[in-house]
Amino acid sequence: MVTLNRIYTRTGDDGTTRLATGAPVSKASLRVEAYGAVDETNACVGLARLHTGADVLLDAILGRVQNELFDLGADLATPERPDEAPGQALRIIDSQVSRLEAEIDALNGALPALESFILPGGAPAAAHLHLARTVCRRAERAAIRLRDEGGEPVSPQAVKYLNRLSDLLFVAARHANDQGRSEVLWRSGATR
């Protein structure tokens, strides 16, 4: 359980923050950028949930996703150590990725085949889900940049989760657009 009795601490006034391990880092570090983008994704999903209405299935999926995004943020805020024992740190696990895949398949199975690219828009829930998808893709790029350019350990499951989540958010947006019937389709070269 996390207890927050005081919201401001003034410890970040110099541009630093602390990772879950307690190690100080710049607020501009690649690691903070990665879990910050995950936090933004979570906020976008929360906005989308304001518009899911009576769609109990979609709201339940997005509620689980929001909780898992906190798990993912904890994963990214806790650099892996070579001597880390299983279960020592909160990490994204394969079953969370598999559950996203099953939800993608279930939602996608009820949708018509894609015949064009889709413009972000349509119903409010769909528009917000498309925004969440793009922010999720940014979080994925930030996690990969942390790993590739920063040379820091990033859980492979965390990267997989972000990749699958952006796919889920895309399919969820189609679902929220009246099962794909209210989608706004791209018309190639239409404005020439």
User: Residue 166 sits in a domain of what CATH number?
Assistant: 1.20.1200.10
Confidence (pLDDT) at 3? 66
What's residue 17's pLDDT?
77
Helix (H, G, I), strand (E, B) or coil at 16: strand
Asked if the structure places residue 191 within a domain, the reply is no
Helices 156-176, 124-148: crossing angle, 10 deg rounding: 160
139 touches 71 (CB < 8 A): no
Of 17-21, 57-61, 91-95, the range with the lowest mean pLDDT is 17-21
What is the pLDDT at residue 1? Answer: 63
In a domain, residue 40? The reply is yes
| Contact between residue 180 and residue 111 where contact means Cβ atoms under 8 Å apart | yes
Domain assignment of residue 5, yes or no = no
Summarised one tens digit per residue, pLDDT across range 166-186 is: 999 999 999 999 887 788 888
**Range with lowest mean pLDDT among 19-23, 106-110, 163-167, 170-174:** 19-23
7 occurs within a structural domain: no
In a domain, 96, yes or no: yes
* C-alpha to C-alpha distances, 178 to 5, 126, 182, nearest whole angstrom: 43, 9, 6
pLDDT of residue 2: 62
Length of the chain: 192
- pLDDT tens readout for residues 23-47: 888 788 999 999 999 999 999 999 9
Distance from C-alpha of 15 to C-alpha of 13, rounded to nearest angstrom: 6
Q: How many domains does the chain have?
A: 1
In a domain, 134, yes or no: yes
Q: Which domain holds residue 112?
A: 24-79+89-181
In a domain, 149, yes or no: yes
Total-model pTM: 0.91
Kindly state whether residue 113 falls inside one of the protein's structural domains. yes
